[in-house]
Amino acid sequence: MGSQAADQPERRQQLNQGLLAPTERERLIAAMAATCAEKGYAATEVAEVLSRTGVQRKVFEKNFAGKADCALSAVDQILAETTRAAASAFRPELADWEKLLRGVQALLELFAAQPSYARLACIEARGAMGAEAYERYTAGIRVLIAMLDRARAYAAVSAPASATRAAIGGPEFLIRRELIGGRAERLPQLLPDIIYGTVVPFLDQQEALGYAELAREILRNGG
C-alpha cells in the first residue's frame, strides 16, 4: 500500500483550495483523520470511516492494509505538508530569527487549517497509534531539534542538552491543548508566546521578549 497521489503536498494544496475533487482514497484518509480527532485513534473503527464516506469496505481494503495503514497515511500527509510549509519559510535571504519565526508561523497556520490531521500527528501518533507512528512523530521532533539547535550558536549561557527538546515541548503542549479543546483556529495567535518559549533558553530574556514583540507586530500587520 504505497504512498499515492493523496499524500503529495502539491495535490493536497489544490484539494484544500477546492481545485480538485478528492479520490476515494483521499476521502477515506480525511474521514479517518476526522474520526480519530473526535474519538481518539484507539476508539475509532473502520466501519465508522466507511459510514462517513459512503465508500465500500472492499475499496478501503484495496487502498489500505487496515486502520493503522490508513491513519499512517494521514500522518504522512500532514508531516509532508509541515515540512513543505517550514521549508518555504526558511528562505535563505532571511535572518536566522526570522526563519524560525516564519517557520513556526507557517506550522501554526497549517495546523489551524487542518486540525484533524494536526491532532493525529501531535496526539495520536505520539501515544495511541503504535511504534511505526511514534517513530514518525519522533523523526519530526528530531528535525525540529536540529533546526533549533542552530539557536545555540547565539546562546548567552550553556543550556543543558535537554533544553532544546524541552523548548519544543512547551509549544507542543500549547498546540495539543488548543487541539484537544477544539480551538485550533486560535493557534496562529499563539505565535508570540511560542516564539518566546522556543528561544528563551538560549538568549538573553529581554532579547526573547523582543522576538515575541516582533511576532506580535507580524500578527498586527496581518502576517
Partner 1 sequence: MASLVPDAIIRMTPTEMEPAARDRLLDSMLIALAEQSRAVLSLPGVLADAGVSEAEFAAEYTDVDACLAAAYQRLTARIETVVRAGCESGEEWPERVRGALGALLGELAGDPQMARVLTRTYPSIDATAQARYQAFVESFAPMLSGGRELAGSAELPAEVEALALGALEAILFEEIESGRAAELLELAPSILFSLLVPFLGPGQATAEMEKARRGS
| Residues lying near partner 1 in the complex (CB under 8 A) | 37-43, 123, 126-128, 134, 155-163, 165-174, 176-177, 180, 190, 192-194, 196-197, 200-206, 208-209, 212
Kindly state the smallest distance separating residue 216's Cβ from partner 1, in Å.
Answer: 10
Kindly state the smallest distance separating residue 49's Cβ from partner 1, in Å.
Answer: 16
CA distances to 60, 61, 73, 89, 159 from 215, rounded to whole Å, are 44, 46, 33, 14, 24
Kindly state the smallest distance separating residue 205's Cβ from partner 1, in Å.
Answer: 3
Kindly state the smallest distance separating residue 148's Cβ from partner 1, in Å.
Answer: 13
| CA separation for the pair 131, 33 (Å, rounded) | 18
Please identify, using beta-carbon distances, which residue of 15 and 111 lies nearer to partner 1: 111
| CA separation for the pair 28, 46 (Å, rounded) | 10
Please identify, using beta-carbon distances, which residue of 11 and 119 lies nearer to partner 1: 119
Please identify, using beta-carbon distances, which residue of 64 and 196 lies nearer to partner 1: 196
**18: which 3 cell numbers?**
477546492
Please identify, using beta-carbon distances, which residue of 6 and 133 lies nearer to partner 1: 133
Please identify, using beta-carbon distances, which residue of 63 and 116 lies nearer to partner 1: 116
The answer to whether 108 and 191 have CB atoms below 8 angstroms apart is yes
Kindly state the smallest distance separating residue 50's Cβ from partner 1, in Å.
Answer: 20
Q: Which of 133, 17, 130, 146 is nearest to 77 (CA)?
A: 133
